[in-house]
Structure 1
Amino acid sequence: MVIGDARQDDKNLLALEFVRFAVDAGVLRFGEFKTKAGRMSPYFFNAGLFDDGAKMGRLAEFYAKAILASGMEFDMVFGPAYKGIPLAATVAVELARQGRNVPFAYNRKEAKDHGEGGSLVGAPLQGRVLIIDDVMSAGTAARESIALIKAAGAVPHAVAIALDRQEMATENGQDVPHSAVQYVRHQLGMQVCTIANLADLLFYLDQGTPDAGQSMQEHHARVLAYRQRYGVNDKG
């Protein structure tokens, strides 16, 4: 086996382990959920349910492993308010534990008018900045973070997210043939690191074990149908 194949196998294994972890933690759920785009999705990923120390620690470990394995270069991490704040902090801790100590910062939604003031907290934004977030639906949070980082004189270099839904983004209420991740990669010119994606979720479901009275195969059929309707070309 060549080195490239071994690295891909490690990435696939990490992704599968993450999907299993997210399902077991109740963060990745199946049913009928309305997305921001108004679609009825057969699955939902709610990173806010990584709600205790053990789950957050394990989540940070997945992020750190995926980021380090990607080989992307960065000088610090940034967490967009609100979900990105604990993500950036815990990922920075885990990166340091794995031998890559970098500064981190985050923003407030409302600028503070007393004390140190301003909307940015933590280390000064400088160098190549890695934005940490949970998912990317429309790329709005990424664009807002990019503006903040540029205004501070730093370089918005890359984004790391937990799950890539690999589905069409919407613009002005209309579906477009690219995903938010593809937009950030190709239109904004930034690297994007993902722990897992929809293809990994489908692979997990295809393994087929009972889940709360409903088989994984039934979930697989619904998720696959959703991808066939709203999915994007993986090579795009």
Structure 2
Amino acid sequence: MFGPDTPLKIKLNHRYFPLFMKTKLLLGLALAFAATSIAHADIVIEQTIESSVQPTSKMTMKMKGSKLRTDIGDQMTSILDTETFDSITLMHPNKTIIKGDGAQLKAAAATATEDLSMKPVDTGKTEKVGGYNCSVWTVDVAGSKITIWATKDYPDYAAIKAELDVQTKASGQPNPMAAIDGMVMKTVAEIAGTKMTTTLDSAKKTPVDDSEFATPAGYTEMVMPK
């Protein structure tokens, strides 16, 4: 796997590439999911991810200022700065790092246009999730159907939503759920024949240490295939 000219950088192991790509998709959905949750104050959001093709996993999002850390089980961690767009993905099984070029992402975000098809539609249905009465919405994102359950009964949901909407807009990430008035409790996404369910377990204001966003020692940078 290693060559003599790659003492500090390694090629992407084929065993981890599918996991990496799936995780990037999960992180994109998670950021949109969290966009109706919390930001700016130190926040910890815990979610459960259920997939038809992967074991059930826990996703934890930690926010502090412009920094966002997302852990998916014990396999991967993504750390994003929503001001610079710089990011790192930590792949824990083989202790490697994939770095994201913030300048490139920022340039792409600056030229992005709003996709009017990504508007959520209220189905008029209501269901309970986690003990809360939720309205049911649907939205199409890049050809994938997402069903969303949102409630206005979640404590302090309006203030929470307003704070995170600011951070999500700064990050340049698409946020089709911003138009939904309520706390997103659950999403079900149908993507390329697979089904993925994200459920909110908890969202709370609690101190997050700066060390959560530092690059850990003992990890080696990984070179993505071109």
Q: TM-score, normalised by structure 2?
A: 0.28
Q: TM-score, normalised by structure 1?
A: 0.27
More strand by percentage: 2
Q: Which has the higher contact order (CA 8 A, sep 6+)?
A: 2
More helix by percentage: 1
